[in-house]
Amino acid sequence: MVQIEVNNRAIEAKDGEMLLDALRREGIHVPTLCHMKDRFPSGACRMCVVEIEGGRGLVPSCAFPVSAGMKIQTHSPRALRARKTIVELLLADHPDDCLYCVRNGACQLQELAEEHAVRERRYQGVKSTYKMDTSSPSLIRDPAKCILCGKCVRVCEEVQKVAAIDFVGRGSTATVGTAFNQGLNTSNCVNCGQCIIACPTGALREQAYIKDVLAALNDPDKIVVVQHAPAVSVTLGEEFGLKPGSDVIGMMTAALRRMGFNYVFDTSFSADLTIMEEATELVGRVTGGGALPMFTSCSPGWIKYVEHFHPEFIPNLSTCKSPQQMLGAVIKSYFAQEVLKVPREKIYSVSIMPCTAKKFEANRPEMGHDNIPDIDAVLSTRELARMIRSAGLNLADMPSEEADLPFGERSSAGKLFGATGGVMEAAIRTAYHLITGRELEELKVQAMRGLDGIKEAHLDIDGTTVGVAVCNGLGNAADLLEQIKAGRDDLHFIEVMTCPGGCVGGGGQPFDTDEEGVRNRMRSLYTIDRDATLRTSHQNVSVKHLYDHYLGQPNGHRSHELLHTHYHARE
């Protein structure tokens, strides 16, 4: 550690660390646009400039190493003028549509303009014109709002190892785009939406389906059904000022009813259904032969990643549909035919998801019957928050209400699907029961918890060693795939979640939540599990009833027809 002086105050820093890291550790605010925590600095935006005394002038604090005896002014007149000029130059070629922009009120460029008192347009010139890319069912790319910070490029390439977008051109003609400037729908984009989370402006946003849902709610001939994913209830509250991890499931259910939804279901129910199918499939592969290791299939971004980059592993994917699609299938079959006794076309099925890739998944041709999709519209957590506000509702004022039966009862194992490792932990609980006929003495599987990129364990189940692993973030999954291709054979079951942290860190979740906020979301799910009385999927009475009265046996003929699917290689 060395001593430096910042704003006439002595602080300690690590010799050689980047100055910005030392400043933030001391709680000293320096604005940034391109900086990504724990990533090599690019120094692209220069918003983080500070002045070093002794004639060294302005330096980008994100890319300037600490040395003993440095004297720094973070908000000197020179530094402030430079930052303000950068903001003004960015705004000179930026659309003046803040009132209409989806990021209005949550835009870092807007915040910096306010912080630096930008009150007039000092620089003017010919505005650049760009074509908006609306081809993807999940994402919209608006190059006119891009400030070339590069964060979307870096998260796509360095974190997810997809590289669907990159810098194109040089100098004043530089843009961020796809190969050959094609639409995202024809690229190798996996629709994860992590680029949206990284983007500081509205250059990237989710494809919105609010208008379609409102039209259905106002159609007297439609029965509008909604399901909400396990992670949504512990993140939605952030949009209304609650701390990350606040569980608002009862208030959210009440708000959905007051918005006009006829039935509110919990996707955690079909997460239990997924475990019954997936655990049975795993046991069958282990005992009777089949492609191993078996990979989970509940994360659609991961599925598309395998289809694009590793099609040799398609046989290893579980054939189970995701919980969203399983519930969509039983809503338009069992619920329509046996409960409501109406044709499936009369039901409009909506899902609230933390994941933008779910929008793509719902549009897959495999996910429907007779050209009728099982899910008609997918809304992100952010979209739901907009709908609640537009309806004049205050989430905090809502009473706590239960979801509707028969798809409202869930185990806490199903709720764990919202966190990385949660699918594996739920599956272990049920697979152990299927193999031994007994319950695990300790349901908590600590090795599967936490934010580590790859987690592994070897379990002894009645003398049989079962190797399991959990990955979150496609870059980590890619590393594990390379190990398997190189000959590693001690793993039988692998959970992969596309987004860092799992669904709690999904591309459709509230903006500006740091790693500790994601941890709080996870802790909330584990607290729900700890305090629950029903903690295993195979003990869910509603799931048992569905099998007894409609589906038959897990992995049986009807359940395979409704709850399983297939995947294919993509160019």
Task: Give the whole-angstrom CA distance, residue 216 versus residue 253.
Answer: 18
Q: Which one is catalytic: 281, 307, 425, 495?
A: 281
Q: Which one is catalytic: 195, 298, 355, 499?
A: 298
Based on the residue annotation, tell me whether 318 is a catalytic residue of this protein. yes
Q: Which one is catalytic: 145, 304, 332, 358?
A: 358
Q: Which residues of 415-443 are buried (b: 16+ CB within 10 A; e: fewer)?
A: bbbbbbbbbbbbbbbbbbbbbeeeebeeb
Contact present, 226 and 350 (Cβ < 8 Å): yes
Based on the residue annotation, tell me whether 281 is a catalytic residue of this protein. yes
Note the Cα 538 to chain centre separation in Å. 27
Q: Do the bridges between strand 223-228 and strand 347-353 make them parallel or antiparallel, or are there none, so unpaired?
A: parallel
Helix pair angle (108-115, 77-92), 10° resolution: 140
C-alpha to C-alpha distances, 56 to 52, 60, 70, 213, 483, nearest whole angstrom = 6, 12, 10, 58, 48
C-alpha to C-alpha distances, 389 to 101, 382, 384, 396, nearest whole angstrom = 16, 11, 9, 12
Query: 3-state class of 36 per DSSP?
Result: coil
Contact present, 498 and 305 (Cβ < 8 Å): yes
Where do the H-state alpha helices sit in 381-438? Answer: 381-390, 412-415, 422-436
Query: 3-state class of 25 per DSSP?
Result: helix
Based on the residue annotation, tell me whether 380 is a catalytic residue of this protein. no
Task: Give the whole-angstrom CA distance, residue 166 versus residue 189.
Answer: 12
Q: Which one is catalytic: 158, 366, 515, 561?
A: 366
Based on the residue annotation, tell me whether 361 is a catalytic residue of this protein. yes
Based on the residue annotation, tell me whether 48 is a catalytic residue of this protein. no
Based on the residue annotation, tell me whether 503 is a catalytic residue of this protein. yes
Based on the residue annotation, tell me whether 482 is a catalytic residue of this protein. no
Based on the residue annotation, tell me whether 444 is a catalytic residue of this protein. no
Q: Which one is catalytic: 318, 349, 380, 537?
A: 318
Q: Which one is catalytic: 192, 199, 499, 503?
A: 503
Q: Which one is catalytic: 278, 307, 383, 409?
A: 278
Copy the structure tokens of residue 251. 């208030």
Residues designated catalytic: 278, 281, 298, 318, 358, 361, 366, 503
